[in-house]
Structure 1
Amino acid sequence: MASNITLQHKAPIATTSLRALVKSTKKAVTSPFEWLRQYYSSILGSEVTMRQTLRYLHAQVAFVMAAFFTYESLLVHVAVFVWFIATLVIAAPHHSPDDELSDAQGK
């Protein structure tokens, strides 16, 4: 006699809860950046990728470090100012087509 037996594989509870924990942690970590992405998109009037959002945020941090901190060394001031200028160049909207390709691939 032949009997049809179907085996159902369920993931262990620990694996399922770990996946849920990782998913909720990822959402909690990325939610402020998602808010910033929407904010930058509304200001610029066009859709902004997460990579562009992080570049704009980097430029803001560099500006704060350059403008509002006092350093004893002039060399440190110059280095932070150069860092700020570099972040502006990197965050400029006229980026290369290679950036668009890597943004589309999610890198």
Structure 2
Amino acid sequence: MIKIYTDVAEAEQTVLRRRLFEDVSVAPPVQASLDRMFGAGTTPSQAVDRIIAEVRRDGDAALSRYSREIEGVELDAIVVSHAEIDAAYQQLEPALIDALRLAAGEIERFHRK
């Protein structure tokens, strides 16, 4: 279940105290991969920004390229069939499905305001 904070002080002591992504140290092997793929000194945030920009610009071609470069996986297609979606759905715990439905409803309600 998703925790909903109604008390600002409680939120400030929990979720709002999380460290910024930029403040997290990167393991040397991860930094070496970032340096190799994106240039020396690239932060994870900079790499994510670049990947997102390239996917927006190049679409599936960028997804295929990064799948190959990062994971070593050659994708034939980036399409998930309805049968695959149904099979994955059947494997979910009922509590997770309920939580996802609740979250979707809350998001939809928020955007209707």
- The TM-score, its normalising length taken from structure 1, stands at 0.27
Rg larger in structure: 1
Structure with bigger RCO (C-alpha 8 Å, 6+ apart): 1
- The TM-score, its normalising length taken from structure 2, stands at 0.26
